[in-house]
Amino acid sequence: MVRVPAALALAFGLSLAACGSPETAPAAEETATAEATVEQTPVMPDDAPPQEEASSPEGELLGAADRTCADSIGEAAAVRLAERCTMVSPASHPPCNPANSCTLIQDEIDRSCGQYGPGEARPAECSA
């Protein structure tokens, strides 16, 4: 029979105890992560309006981004806005189409007209 010195047996026992079981360590980490996630989740106030009901005057005038310009302001007005966009846009394929949102068309007009310098003559469609 081999005799193991007591100090060696004690050291071996302590090293095993220090390792801990691998199943308990991740559970503690997962709990901490779950608690941190819960704390970071934003909470809407009870009196906050639903997102669908919140609107801006700009959005009402130009139409929602998911609606066509023709649906938002009518076919004739949307065609006029698209034609104005085509007249000022230097892009080879501008988004000047009544089937796009009015906001997208107006943004192209603003971007195109914004490229002119202070001393340069801008098309009349930029000030319409």
Q: How confident is the model at residue 74, as a pLDDT?
A: 94
pTM of the model: 0.50
Q: How confident is the model at residue 59, as a pLDDT?
A: 45
State how far the Cα of 61 lies from the Cα of 106, in Å rounded to an integer: 11
pLDDT tens across 5-53, in order? 665 565 666 565 555 555 555 555 555 555 555 556 666 677 766 655 4
**Nearest Cα residue to 105 out of 65, 71, 75, 76:** 65
Q: How confident is the model at residue 2, as a pLDDT?
A: 55
DSSP 121: P
* Mean pLDDT (the chain, rounded): 74
Q: How confident is the model at residue 58, as a pLDDT?
A: 46
From residue 27, alpha-carbon distances to 4, 38, 40, 41 in Å are 36, 16, 20, 21
Rounded to an integer, the average pLDDT of 109-113 is: 94
Rounded to an integer, the average pLDDT of 84-98 is: 93
Res. 3 pLDDT band, cuts 50 70 90? low
Residue whose tokens read 């026992």: 13
Structure tokens at 95: 């988004």
State how far the Cα of 23 lies from the Cα of 60, in Å rounded to an integer: 57
